């Protein structure tokens, strides 16, 4: 064996127990008591928790948007991921007009492959659903890219699809084993409200929230769920942030429909009051952070199992770029950081007793692995699985600052947040990529994951 981790408490989505872990050739080779191999490096994890690496199923690295490009390129974003216990990132490859699905992913991989410090996968965001692209769904699934995203917003940016396109994608997904995810907001209502506020001289970050409040997101959630139910197709709602949408997800799931909801740490930790702050533009993301009632509903959705995953929508921009909108909220690049903060924040909440550690592993690791076709290689600690492992010290306390993060962005919305318990080591396929606050990985280590499609009903 190459490495033995001894005496730690192993926590998966369903189990908690003390055992040793043997690692060989990037895989977990054995789990048991008193593993001894005189040729192996030994890590003593007594008093610490051993958990599977997280999968962040929603990041936008090196993404052109809002007149600039998100500040974390593939090296910086995956470096930050490793330092936060995330061992797999899913990035969005945006289809250009005339390009195919596989072509879109391959073009993006040329940027990612030389630079990724942890493993990665792509969702392809479909913006030009021609008959040829529709027929490519099956070959894309067979190729190992079975998840596609559609935007119900960003009409002016050329990303939005209409309901007819959404329905075509849902119908074809149900026939091919693909998974459709949606960014659900009502674009026409947003544009109308923006025009109204600007005409009244209401231009602060607060009006970013008011231009797309709870009911604007909820309507699109309901519409997307209605179409998924109509075509008996699975649906994954990204970055759900509102109570009414949460209620609709619960209802559909109680009726037996395969509806998955993702939410993000920023929606769980902050509320819409952040947009009244002097630095409120740093929190501008879409959908915006909502009111306290919505935050409470999301935590209840975690408790009931109606929130399936936690992801970040990691899409940071530099503070000077955010400042472009200090006098006009429509000029603020949309996006916040989070890939390094997700697992520590959720584990800290477990350490405080808000939810179990098993539930955190389920939300951040095992569920995204299962939903997006990475299991059992990812998302658990078991013989034969990849040795994507986080060693977590429940006693270590960290206050988040820009200086102790590992991203390329010059600020963090998490500044000053106190975290109870923290990862002290991250292994990616058996390689130590983070240890005691220091990044130890290397660009090019990460591999593209080819994933399994869903079983066709």
pLDDT of residue 449: 97
> Is residue 182 domain-resident?
yes
Please list, residue by residue across 342-366, b when 16 or more beta carbons sit within 10 angstroms of its beta carbon and e when fewer do: bbbbbbbbbbeeebebbbbbbbbbb
CA dist 162 and 6 (Å) reads 54
Q: Tell me how far the alpha carbon of residue 356 is from its chain's centroid.
A: 20
pLDDT at 142: 97
| pLDDT at residue 289 is higher than 90 | yes
Residue-level pLDDT at 264 = 98
**Inside any domain, residue 433:** yes
Are 65 and 43 members of one domain? no
Whether residues 125 and 160 fall in one domain = yes
Whether residue 402 sits in one domain with residue 315 = no
Q: pTM of the full predicted structure? A: 0.97
Same domain for 276 and 207 = yes
CA proximity to 225, closest of 261, 191, 190: 261
Residues 108, 29, single domain; the answer is: no
Candidates 16, 28, 445; CA nearest to 3 is 28
| pLDDT band (50, 70, 90) for residue 228 | very high
63 and 205 housed in the same domain:
yes
Question: Does the structure show a pLDDT above 80 at 175?
Answer: yes
Assigned domain for 396 exists: yes
Question: Same domain for 292 and 320?
Answer: yes
pLDDT at residue number 455: 87
Are both 277 and 313 inside the same structural domain? yes
Name which of 152, 144, 291 is nearest 221 in CA terms.
152
- Token pair 């990529």 is at which residue? 433
pLDDT beyond 80 at 432: yes
For residue 105, the domain's CATH number is: 3.20.20.140
Report the percentage of the chain scoring pLDDT > 70: 100
Strand partners, 10: 17, 50
Domain containing 327 equals: 53-371
Residues 41 and 100 in one domain: no
In a domain, residue 446? The reply is no
DSSP, collapsed to helix, strand or coil, labels residue 269 as helix
Residues 247, 218: Cα–Cα separation, whole Å: 9
The mean of the pLDDT values for the chain is 97
Q: What is the pLDDT of residues 353-402, one digit of tens each?
A: 999 999 999 999 999 999 999 999 999 999 999 999 999 999 999 999 99
Q: Does 113 lie in the same domain as 157? A: yes
Same domain, 38 and 92: no
Is residue 80 predicted with pLDDT exceeding 90? yes
My answer on whether 288 and 357 are in the same domain is yes
Stretch 228-245: mean pLDDT, rounded? 98
Domain count, the chain: 2
């Amino acid at each position: 064996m190459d490495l033995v981790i001894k005496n730690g408490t192993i926590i998966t989505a369903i189990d908690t127990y003390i055992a040793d872990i043997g690692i060989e050739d990037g895989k977990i080779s054995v789990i048991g008591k008193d593993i001894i191999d005189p040729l192996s490096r030994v890590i003593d994890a007594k008093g610490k928790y051993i958990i599977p690496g997280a999968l962040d199923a929603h990041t936008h690295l090196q993404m052109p948007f809002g007149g600039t490009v998100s500040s974390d390129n593939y090296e910086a974003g995956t470096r930050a991921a490793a330092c936060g216990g995330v061992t797999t990132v899913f990035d969005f490859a945006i289809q250009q007009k005339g390009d195919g699905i596989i072509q879109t992913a391959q073009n993006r991989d040329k940027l990612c492959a030389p630079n990724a410090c942890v493993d990665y996968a792509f969702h392809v965001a479909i913006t030009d659903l021609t008959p040829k692209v529709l027929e490519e769904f099956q070959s894309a699934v067979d190729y190992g890219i079975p998840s596609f995203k559609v935007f119900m917003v960003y009409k002016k940016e050329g990303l939005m699809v209409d309901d007819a396109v959404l329905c075509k994608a849902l119908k074809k997904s149900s026939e091919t084993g693909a998974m459709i995810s949606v960014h659900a907001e009502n674009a026409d209502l947003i544009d109308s409200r923006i025009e109204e506020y600007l005409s009244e001289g209401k231009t602060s970050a607060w009006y970013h929230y008011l231009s797309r409040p709870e009911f604007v997101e909820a309507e699109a959630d309901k519409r997307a769920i209605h179409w998924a139910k109509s075509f008996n197709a699975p649906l994954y709602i990204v970055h759900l942030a509102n109570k009414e949408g949460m209620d609709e997800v619960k209802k559909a799931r109680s009726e037996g429909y395969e509806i998955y909801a993702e939410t993000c740490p920023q929606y769980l930790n902050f509320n819409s009051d952040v947009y009244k702050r002097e630095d409120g533009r740093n929190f501008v993301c879409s959908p915006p952070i909502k009111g306290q009632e919505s935050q409470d509903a999301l935590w209840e959705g975690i408790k009931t199992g109606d929130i399936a995953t936690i992801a970040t929508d990691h899409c940071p921009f530099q503070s000077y770029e955010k400042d472009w909108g200090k006098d006009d909220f429509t000029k603020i690049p949309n996006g916040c950081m989070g890939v390094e903060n997700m697992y520590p924040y959720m584990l800290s909440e477990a350490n405080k007793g808000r939810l179990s550690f098993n539930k955190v592993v389920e939300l951040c690791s095992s569920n995204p692995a299962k939903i997006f076709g990475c299991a059992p290689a990812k998302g658990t600690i078991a013989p034969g699985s990849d040795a994507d492992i986080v060693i977590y010290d429940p006693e270590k306390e960290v206050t988040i600052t820009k200086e102790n993060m590992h991203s390329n962005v010059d600020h963090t919305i998490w500044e000053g947040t106190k975290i109870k318990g923290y990862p002290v080591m991250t292994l990616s396929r058996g390689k130590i990529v983070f240890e005691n606050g220091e990044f130890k990985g290397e660009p090019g280590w990460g591999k593209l994951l080819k994933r399994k499609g869903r079983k066709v009903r």
